[in-house]
Amino acid sequence: MRYLPLSNQDRESMLNTIGIETIDDLFDELPKSEVPQKLPSHKSELQVDRELSQIANENLPYSRVPSFLGAGNYCHFIPASLDYIVQRGEFLTSYTPYQPEISQGTLQVIFEFQTQVALITGMEIANASMYDGATACAEAISMASRINKRSKVLISGGVHPHYIDVSKTQLKHLGFDIEVLEPNIFGKEEILDKLDTDLSCLVVQNPSFFGDLQDYTAVANECRDKGVLLIIVVTEPVSLGLIKTPGEMGADIVVGEGQSLAGPSNFGGPGLGFFASLQKYVRQMPGRLCGQTFDKEGKRGFVLTMSTREQHIRREKATSNICTNSGLIALAFSVHLTLLGENGFNRLANINHKNAVELSMRLKKNNKINVINSSFFNEFVIELPRPAIDIIDELVNLNILSGIPVSRFYPNSPNLSNFMLVAVTEINTESDLDLFANALNEVL
């Protein structure tokens, strides 16, 4: 076909490589009863709309019921004004920033986005966004290696498993020696004992995947003494409105996911990666940076200051091969932060933390529930007397999206089957907290 360059031989080679015979085998995990066997040759648009609506109504969206889902994808209130602003012509239709004379709307938003990311992370400089937090993490590891010419990487067991998997995949053929510590739900990791002068970087997450908060200042000092770069991952940017910033702790590079402030959870995406660092590393940053300047008449304007991608003149010297900066999602993130303002952002973070603390106190009243975390922002782990996945299914039958089983992310760790990850945000009311606690007491 004209627009599909792969030949049948190419497809067969790809199928052989992954060990299957046909493309249909890719869908073997789907229950056969849920796959339409005989589709009609055609239907009217009205009929299709009705049928798809009926199918969609079988879902249980978080917007219709109390939801406590998190694990890197958080449900926050998105103001209606955000959609209106991002659809304005000067933003929506001027997507590409390559021609500054017609892209001032997009370029200014990117500039403001960089400034906001630098402010909330406590870092000196930020780039013009990336695909998502997971790929930003992989890019940060590559950047650290370019800076100190080392290839040994240590990743905390508290980093989101998806970030670890994506980093391993993206760096698989680049000669990195990656060690990942075991997940430790019950206590702090002994990271300092693992640091040595052969390490390129240490990757940690705050709050951790299990919700724990930690001050990495001492770790940052030790990293600096050994020439190891400290990368801090942030999957919940709202936490930065309340806790000590990575920059204040001494991080060299900060990466994270901006989805929770940019738009609603939508089957896990679309994501938005943010990336910040110390200014001395700016020429090793992936992606691109937007800067402010003045034209010959003295009017303020915005341009791409650095474009270090392979699409530009850098070619083989490029610092990354990302081909988008998720511009529209970055715009939504920036608009939301602007609407909140500094005080609003801090207040939002306080509400999230307060709600999470209140739920944990309700759950602690049941001696069958063990709240694991001693410190957390808006997410924590609870230990249950039987498998979490069974209890979650029972609560779904009561129209409550109670949380996520930790075992879903660690299928090879049967000792984690009784643990549930629970997230609380500003969308959860007092009634939601009572409903969850009472329902959990009932099913237990």
The pLDDT tens digits for 276-323 are: 999 999 999 998 889 999 989 999 999 888 876 555 556 677 777 676
Same structural domain, 160 and 104: yes
Of 301, 316, 337, the last residue of a domain is 337
Spatial contact of 285 and 275, defined as CB atoms under 8 Å apart: yes
- Going by pLDDT thresholds of 50, 70 and 90, the confidence category of residue 381 is very high
- Going by pLDDT thresholds of 50, 70 and 90, the confidence category of residue 407 is very high
pLDDT(352) > 70 = yes
Mean pLDDT to the nearest integer, 316-336: 82
**Residue-level pLDDT at 93:** 64
**Residue-level pLDDT at 336:** 96
The pLDDT tens digits for 117-142 are: 999 999 999 998 898 999 999 999 99
Cα 180 versus chain centre, distance: 19
**Residue-level pLDDT at 179:** 97
- Going by pLDDT thresholds of 50, 70 and 90, the confidence category of residue 389 is very high
Same structural domain, 367 and 228: no
pLDDT(1) > 60 = no
pLDDT(5) > 60 = yes
pLDDT(262) > 80 = yes
Give the range among 19-33, 82-96, 109-123, 428-442 with minimum mean pLDDT: 82-96
Per the model's pLDDT, the better-predicted residue between 38 and 246 turns out to be 246
Same structural domain, 438 and 305: no
Which CATH number belongs to the domain containing residue 357 in this structure?
3.90.1150.10
Per the model's pLDDT, the better-predicted residue between 6 and 350 turns out to be 350
Same structural domain, 316 and 407: no
Spatial contact of 366 and 439, defined as CB atoms under 8 Å apart: no
Inside any domain, residue 273? yes
Which CATH number belongs to the domain containing residue 262 in this structure?
3.40.640.10
Inside any domain, residue 127? yes
Same structural domain, 253 and 157: yes
Same structural domain, 300 and 416: no
pLDDT(255) > 60 = yes
Q: Domain range for residue 186?
A: 80-337
Cα–Cα dist 81/77, whole Å: 12
Of 134, 126, 131, nearest to 110 by C-alpha is: 126
Same structural domain, 323 and 393: no
Same structural domain, 287 and 152: yes
The pLDDT tens digits for 50-102 are: 988 988 888 888 888 999 999 999 999 999 999 899 888 777 766 567 777 77
**Residue-level pLDDT at 188:** 77
Instruction: Quote the mean pLDDT of the chain.
Output: 91
Mean pLDDT to the nearest integer, 378-405: 96
Inside any domain, residue 30? no
Inside any domain, residue 35? no
Inside any domain, residue 416? yes
**Residue-level pLDDT at 282:** 93
Token pair in block for residue 305: 């200051």
Per the model's pLDDT, the better-predicted residue between 345 and 42 turns out to be 345
Inside any domain, residue 9? no
**Residue-level pLDDT at 94:** 60
Q: Burial code of 407-427, b = ≥16 C-beta within 10 A, e = fewer?
A: bebbeeeeebbbbbbbbbbbb
Mean pLDDT to the nearest integer, 335-356: 97
**pLDDT over 70 percentage in the chain:** 94
Inside any domain, residue 20? no
Same structural domain, 297 and 359: no
Inside any domain, residue 396? yes
The pLDDT tens digits for 41-50 are: 788 999 989 9
**Residue-level pLDDT at 171:** 94
Residue 55 identity (one-letter amino acid): I
Of 321, 313, 274, nearest to 174 by C-alpha is: 321
Token pair in block for residue 173: 């053929």
- Going by pLDDT thresholds of 50, 70 and 90, the confidence category of residue 375 is very high
- In total, how many domains does the chain have? 2
Of 339, 310, 376, 285, nearest to 84 by C-alpha is: 339
Same structural domain, 325 and 389: no
The pLDDT tens digits for 355-367 are: 999 999 999 999 9
Beta bridge partners of 382: 371, 420
Same structural domain, 409 and 315: no
Same structural domain, 186 and 303: yes
**Residue-level pLDDT at 266:** 78
Per the model's pLDDT, the better-predicted residue between 154 and 314 turns out to be 154
Of 337, 364, 386, the last residue of a domain is 337
Spatial contact of 223 and 249, defined as CB atoms under 8 Å apart: no
pLDDT(19) > 60 = yes
Of 285, 314, 337, the last residue of a domain is 337
